[in-house]
Structure 1
Amino acid sequence: MPTLCHHFDADRCRSCGWLDLSYAAQLAAKQESVVDLLGSPAGLTWEPPVASPQLGFRNKAKMVVTGTAEEPVLGILGPSGVGVDLRDCPLHLPGIQAALPVLADFVTRAAVAPYDLAARRGELKHLLVTESPDGELMVRFVLRSQEPVARLRKHLPGLLAELPSVAVVSVNLQPEHKAVLEGDREILLTERATLTMRVAGLALHLRPQSFFQTNTAMAAELYDRARSWVGELAPARVWDLYCGVGGFALALAGTAREVTGVEVSAEAVASATQSAADADLGGVRFEAGDATAWALGRAAPPDLVVVNPPRRGIGPELAGWLEGSEVPDVLYSSCNAQTLARDLAAMPSLRPVRAQVLDMFPNTDHYEVLVLLERS
C-alpha cells in the first residue's frame, strides 16, 4: 500500500521508519512507550499527546551533497555509499522544498565540487537550510576548505536575486575526514547574521551554529505549555539549564522574575542575549558554560530549574545535585524518555505531577516529553 512518500515506497530512504503506520497509531505507540518507561505514579496527571502535522513540518534540511558540480545530488548516502537525491522530501517546509533546486543550480554556477568520501577530494560536504516562520531562509555550505569561498561570494548576488527569501548565508569549514556534520569555524557571507524564529509570541535570534528545534509548530507548543504550567507556580527565580537560544528562558520571563539561562554554546548564548535585549527583558541573562558545573557552583538554588538536555540526559552529577538541593520544582523537557526515566530514578524526592508527549518527530519512534516535578 503506498505511503505519503515515494522515496519510502521505493526503498530509497527509510529515515521515516513509521511512515507505514497511521498517524493515530504512531501517537498511541509513543504515549504507550513513555508511560511504560515513566509509569503512572500517584499524583501524576498524563495530559493527551500533542499532534504535529505529519508532513511539511521540518524547518531544517541537512543534505549530504554528492555527485558532481555539474549535477549535484542533495540528500543522503544510500547503503552502497551512493547519493540519493531527496530535494523533494515531503518532511520539509514548503520554502525549503522550493529552495533546494535553486541551491543545486547555484552549486553548479559556483563550480563547487561535492566532497567524494571514498577519494577524499572535492569540497562541498553538506548543505544546511533553515526556514523561519516568516519564510526567510538561512543557508550554510559545509566545505572542506576555503577554496570555493571566493566563487560563492561572486555568485551570491545572483542567488539572492533569484531566491529573495534567503536572509543569511554562511560557510562552515569542516576539514577533517570523519562523520562530523560541521566544524568550529563559520564565515558569514551576508550582512545579516541571524534568522528570526517567531514562535509562541517570542522572537528568537538564530545564528548559524545555534540549535533550534526542527519542528517549529511543536516548539511553539512546548514553550506555550511551559509558560502555562510555570505560571501556576509563580517562581521568582528560574534557571534554564541547556537553554540553547533561550526559548524556555524567554517564554518564562515575567514582571519581577529573575531568569538565568546557561548553555555551553557561545553562539547560542549570543543569540539568546540578542533576543532578550530586543524584547527589553532586563530580568533575563544568559551565560556560556557547562550546565552541571555552573549549577554546582552556585551558592543557593532558585525556585524553579528548567532542564532541556541532549539525548544523553542530565546525568548523575546534576541529578544528584537537584535531588539534594532545596529546589521546589523542576521542569524537564526530554527528547529521550529512557535517559529521562534514569534521571528521574536518581531524583526520588522530586515526584512527577504533570506530563505530556509532544510529537516533535512524526513518522519515527522519537518524541519530546515535558514533565513537571514537585518536591515531596
Structure 2
Amino acid sequence: MHCSYFDAARCRSCTLMGTPYGEQLAGKQAHCQTLLADHTALEWLEPVASQESAFRNKAKMVISGTARNPTIGILDAEAHGIDLRKCGVCSPGLRAVFPVVAAFIRTHRLTPYDVPNRSGELKHLIVTESPDGEIMLRLVLRSEQLVPRIRKHLPDLLEALPQVKVVSINLHPEHKAVLEGDREILLTEQSTLNMRVNDINLHLRPQSFFQTNSHMAAALYRQGREWVNELAPASVWDLYCGVGGFALHVANPSRTVTGIETSSEAIVSARLSSDEAGLQGMEFEAGDATAFALAARQAPDLVIVNPPRRGIGKELCGWLESSDVQHVVYSSCNAQSLARDLAALPSFTARRVRVLDMFPQTTHYEVMVLLERAG
C-alpha cells in the first residue's frame, strides 16, 4: 500500500507504509518470537493476515481550521490541522462520512477548537462503522454551547448520511491531550451500533471499546472459541471483557461464563447481546478485573484476559499463580507486556501462540497465547 499523505510527509502515523505487506507480517512474527524465545514449548501457529488497506472500522479525527474551512485529520507540530479525509487505512464507509461532516460544519458554523489559542468548540470527530455498514458518529465539544444548534440541524445530517444510526455529543471541557470526556449526550433514539461478528450480534455504545479491525476481531474471537471449546471447561472468566466479544463466543449450555469490565456502558451492551441471543449461564459485571479475582471465593477452570497495553500486572499474575485455574487464554495488543506477564506466571506453560495483524502499516499487532498449568 502507498499513501500520498505519507509520501508528502503530511502524516507518518503508519510507520511501515510502503513496506511490502509480506515483510510487515514476517517482521511482526519475528518480533514476537524474539520476545517469547524463552518459552520453548510453544507451538507457533501461522500468523493471520489482514487486508492491507481500508481495514479500519473506526476513525478518531481532530477537527481544526475554521468553520468555513475545517480540516478533519491530525495536528502538525505547531497544532495546525492536517486534513486526512482520504486516509487509505479507513474503510470506504468512514471516508464517505468525512466530507458530509465537513459540509455540516461549514453550513451550520460549528467553530473548530483552536489548540494554541484555547478557543472554539468542536474538538474531535469519532466515527465507527459496523460490519453491516451502519455508522456511529460522535462529536467531541468543549462545552454545550453548540448542542442546540447541532440538535436542531441533525435531521439534515441524517438525511445526507442515512447509514448513520447513532449520534452523540461528548463533552470534553479540559485543555489536555485526551480524546474525550466523561459525559455523553445521545442525540438519536438508537443508542447502540450493532456489530455483528461471526454469529454473534454485539452492541457498541458510544463510550465502549471495540477492536478497530472487524475482520481481525472475528478471527481473534474464533481462535479463542476454538481453544476454549477444545478444552471444554465448566467455568470461564472473561476479564477485561469489553462488550463481551470473547465471553459471548465461548458461551455454551454446559458452562458458566462471567465477564468483567470497568466500563458500565460496555457491560450494558454485553448483557443486551446475551439476552437477545437467549444465552444461558452468562453473567456480566462492571468492575476491576484484579479486584474481582482477589475477592472471588472460587476460581474458574479457565480465564480469558484481554488487557490494555500495560498487561495484567503483577497482582493479577500473582492471583493466577496461587489459584486453581488450569488454563489461560491471553490476548495481547503489546507483546512486551505479555512477555513480562508470562515471566510472572512460572506455574503455567505457554503451549500455543498466534499473531493476528490487527494493525497493518504499523509495528503493532495482536497476539494470543494459550497457557496450561504445568503438571
On whether the aligned pair clears a TM of 0.5, the verdict is yes
**Aligned residues of 2:253 and 2:280 also touching (Cα < 8 A):** no
Paired residues for 1:202-281 under 5 Å:
202-281=200-279
**Aligned residues of 1:109 and 1:155 also touching (Cα < 8 A):** no
* SS of alignment partner, residue 127 of structure 1: strand
Distance 2:173 2:40 in 1: 53
**Aligned residues of 1:127 and 1:140 also touching (Cα < 8 A):** yes
Once the two structures are TM-superposed, the CA of residue 44 in structure 1 deviates from its matched residue by 1.4
| One-letter code aligned to 1:49 | P
Distance 1:82 1:169 in 2: 27
| One-letter code aligned to 1:258 | T
> What is the identity percentage for the equivalent residue pairs of Structure 1 and Structure 2?
62
* SS of alignment partner, residue 74 of structure 1: strand
State the match for 2:124 in structure 1: 126
Once the two structures are TM-superposed, the CA of residue 80 in structure 1 deviates from its matched residue by 2.6
Equivalent pairs, count: 374
Distance 2:315 2:19 in 1: 39
Once the two structures are TM-superposed, the CA of residue 40 in structure 1 deviates from its matched residue by 6.0
Once the two structures are TM-superposed, the CA of residue 136 in structure 1 deviates from its matched residue by 0.4
Once the two structures are TM-superposed, the CA of residue 43 in structure 1 deviates from its matched residue by 2.8
Distance 2:280 2:168 in 1: 31
**Aligned residues of 2:136 and 2:166 also touching (Cα < 8 A):** yes
State the match for 1:284 in structure 2: 282
Distance 1:282 1:144 in 2: 43
Paired residues for 1:1-376 under 5 Å:
4-39=2-37, 41-376=39-374
**Aligned residues of 2:303 and 2:328 also touching (Cα < 8 A):** yes
**Aligned residues of 2:142 and 2:173 also touching (Cα < 8 A):** yes
**Aligned residues of 2:252 and 2:280 also touching (Cα < 8 A):** no
TM-score (norm 2): 0.99
Distance 2:319 2:294 in 1: 7
Distance 1:32 1:237 in 2: 34
Once the two structures are TM-superposed, the CA of residue 82 in structure 1 deviates from its matched residue by 1.4
Distance 1:257 1:40 in 2: 34
Distance 1:92 1:85 in 2: 14
**Aligned residues of 1:226 and 1:248 also touching (Cα < 8 A):** yes
**Aligned residues of 2:210 and 2:243 also touching (Cα < 8 A):** yes
Distance 2:358 2:131 in 1: 16
Distance 2:35 2:213 in 1: 24
Distance 2:117 2:15 in 1: 31
* SS of alignment partner, residue 240 of structure 1: strand
| One-letter code aligned to 1:143 | L
For residues 115-161 of structure 1, what are the alpha-carbon distances to aligned partners after superposition, in whole Å with 9 as ceiling and x for unaligned? 00111110000000000011000000000000101110111111111
Distance 1:108 1:250 in 2: 43
Distance 1:229 1:200 in 2: 16
For residues 83-115 of structure 1, what are the alpha-carbon distances to aligned partners after superposition, in whole Å with 9 as ceiling and x for unaligned? 100011011111111111001111122221000
For residues 59-79 of structure 1, what are the alpha-carbon distances to aligned partners after superposition, in whole Å with 9 as ceiling and x for unaligned? 001000000111110000012
Once the two structures are TM-superposed, the CA of residue 214 in structure 1 deviates from its matched residue by 0.3
Distance 1:135 1:110 in 2: 26
Show structure 1 runs of 5+ residues with no match.
Answer: none
| One-letter code aligned to 2:112 | P
**Aligned residues of 1:258 and 1:283 also touching (Cα < 8 A):** yes
* SS of alignment partner, residue 245 of structure 1: coil
Once the two structures are TM-superposed, the CA of residue 21 in structure 1 deviates from its matched residue by 1.0
Once the two structures are TM-superposed, the CA of residue 285 in structure 1 deviates from its matched residue by 1.2
**Aligned residues of 2:49 and 2:356 also touching (Cα < 8 A):** yes
Q: CA RMSD in A?
A: 0.8
For residues 293-320 of structure 1, what are the alpha-carbon distances to aligned partners after superposition, in whole Å with 9 as ceiling and x for unaligned? 0011001110100000000000000001
Moved more, 277-286 or 234-243: 277-286
| One-letter code aligned to 1:184 | D
Distance 2:115 2:39 in 1: 50
**Aligned residues of 2:301 and 2:326 also touching (Cα < 8 A):** yes
| One-letter code aligned to 2:145 | E
* SS of alignment partner, residue 50 of structure 1: coil
Distance 1:262 1:47 in 2: 28
| One-letter code aligned to 1:91 | V
